[in-house]
Amino acid sequence: YVYQNACKSRCLDYCCVATDDPRVAKAVKAFGGEVELTDARWKHSTERCWEVCQRLKRRGAEFDVVVNVQCDEPFIQPHHIEIVADLVAGSDAVMGTLARHEHREEEEENAHSVRCALDADGNALYFSRASVPPDQDQIAAVSYKLASGICGYRSDFLPNIRKLPRASSGSKAGSHSQQRGAASSTDVDWLMVNRMIGAGHQVKVDVMDEVDVRGVKTREQLERINRALKEGSLVMTPEV
């Protein structure tokens, strides 16, 4: 679903799966998908994007924006990719991403998810795995949303991601970034995104109206979604 949906986006010149696992590469090739094997030392998908971009540039490719869609986001649609690309292409932001409203009853289910704090202009203030706000001194102009596993980067900024200064332990971005759960190698490195923000770079966030754009973070969520699809209570309708 994720790869097929991404390929339908009109704004992409090239779409591939970036992985360091030969088993994943074999599965992608089996259904006719494009795949790029990356270095196994990378801890996060942002670094995989950087490696693939460097490789494509050596092949003569040119592009302004790179969009990273996580493999556990089957409900990301082509128009979501276009929104994220436009966030970067149409502003001074080095990165753009999507978020959605989180309902109170979802908090326990989304314990493994990342939340973001936004200012009134849709700029990210920080990302956190903890329930936000983590304290009571919240500002009325700040809103808190559930982050989605899709990010767009300015291609000329990607080489700088590994040179970003470390966030200080006392900073808001540094202190709230990874309070709950451990990031896997397929995750967006939200701590790195916080370092972008801490270094003064702009990260834009578009808040989606859709409710059923949910990631699959646990085995229980996967089983529940598969069961709902089989029963017909949840329908995945990729755009044409």
Residue 92's CATH number: 3.90.550.10
Q: What pLDDT digit, counting tens, does each position of 133-179 carry?
A: 555 455 555 677 888 889 999 999 999 988 887 655 444 444 444 43
Question: Is residue 91 in a domain?
Answer: yes
- How many structural domains are present in the chain? 1
Question: Is residue 168 in a domain?
Answer: yes
Give the span between the Cα atoms of 113 and 149, in whole angstroms.
Answer: 9
Question: Is residue 228 in a domain?
Answer: no
Give the span between the Cα atoms of 216 and 223, in whole angstroms.
Answer: 10
Question: Is residue 62 in a domain?
Answer: yes
The highest-confidence range among 97-101, 130-134, 155-159, 233-237, by mean pLDDT, is 155-159
Give the span between the Cα atoms of 76 and 99, in whole angstroms.
Answer: 11
Are the C-beta atoms of residues 10 and 240 closer than 8 Å to each other? no
Question: Is residue 239 in a domain?
Answer: no
Q: Which value, in Å, is the radius of gyration of the alpha carbons in the chain?
A: 17
- What tokens appear for 162 in the block? 């590994």
Q: Which amino acid is at 171?
A: S
- Confidence band of 104 (pLDDT split at 50, 70, 90): low
Give the span between the Cα atoms of 99 and 130, in whole angstroms.
Answer: 16
Full residue range of the structural domain in which residue 41 is found: 2-219
Pick the range with the lowest mean pLDDT from 64-68, 185-189, 196-200.
185-189
Question: Is residue 225 in a domain?
Answer: no
What residues form DSSP beta bridges with 150? 69
35: enclosing H helix or E strand: strand 35-37
Give the span between the Cα atoms of 230 and 240, in whole angstroms.
Answer: 22
Question: Is residue 100 in a domain?
Answer: yes
pLDDT at 20 over 50: yes
Question: Is residue 173 in a domain?
Answer: yes
Q: What is the pLDDT of residue 236?
A: 57
Model's pTM, two decimal places? 0.81
